[in-house]
Amino acid sequence: MAETLYTIQEAAAAANKSIQTIRRALKAKKLVAKKQKTPQGFNYLIGENALFEYYKIERPHGKVKGSNLSSAEQTSLVTEYASREELVEQKKVLDRLVDDNRKDKDTFMRFVKVFQERFTALESQVKLLEEPGKKKRWFQFWKRG
């Protein structure tokens, strides 16, 4: 079974310590953490065993991280509120939404392409309206002389 990993905030809550205390323990290498790269930097994931051994915390029996319910109670809630058929139906709805989104994106990209073509055509028409050798603006083509 995989070890439960805690973020710094979750570790602080589980150990009843401040976030800065957990950060100082990580910096002093008293706690070992895995680094998870994110676009903003790194998230540190602290192993449950290392956290509970270092701070001498008694392990909660039958509890799942971040919950006040035992695993049996959580299982009964999941089966009570989310049946397999409901999950399959939700997946169908999500697949339909993804497909609709793809179609909308394709339509939008076609619209952008048509807009670009028309804009390019208008630019070339404006250039044709300019008289060679005279310094008139394109909007002054109707002025003679």
Tens-digit pLDDT profile for residues 29-79: 999 899 988 888 889 999 888 898 899 887 765 444 555 666 666 666 555
pTM (whole model) above 0.75:
no
Q: What residue numbers bound the domain in which 44 lies? A: 5-65
Which DSSP category does 3 fall into?
A: P
Indicate whether 96 and 56 sit together in one domain.
no
Contact 47, 84 (CB under 8 A): no
* Residue 78 Cα to chain centre, angstroms: 25
* 120 located within any domain: yes
Q: What is the mean pLDDT of residues 84-108?
A: 91
Indicate whether 9 and 52 sit together in one domain.
yes
Mean predicted lDDT score pLDDT of the chain: 81
pLDDT of amino acid 83: 75
* 125 located within any domain: yes
Indicate whether 60 and 98 sit together in one domain.
no
Angle at 63 between CA 58 and CA 66, to 5 degrees: 95
The rounded distance, in Å, linking the Cα atoms of 93 and 99 is 10
Q: What is the mean pLDDT of residues 111-122?
A: 93
Q: What is the mean pLDDT of residues 76-92?
A: 75
Domain count, the chain: 2
> Greater confidence, 129 or 37?
37
The pLDDT > 90 percentage for the chain reads 39
Indicate whether 57 and 90 sit together in one domain.
no
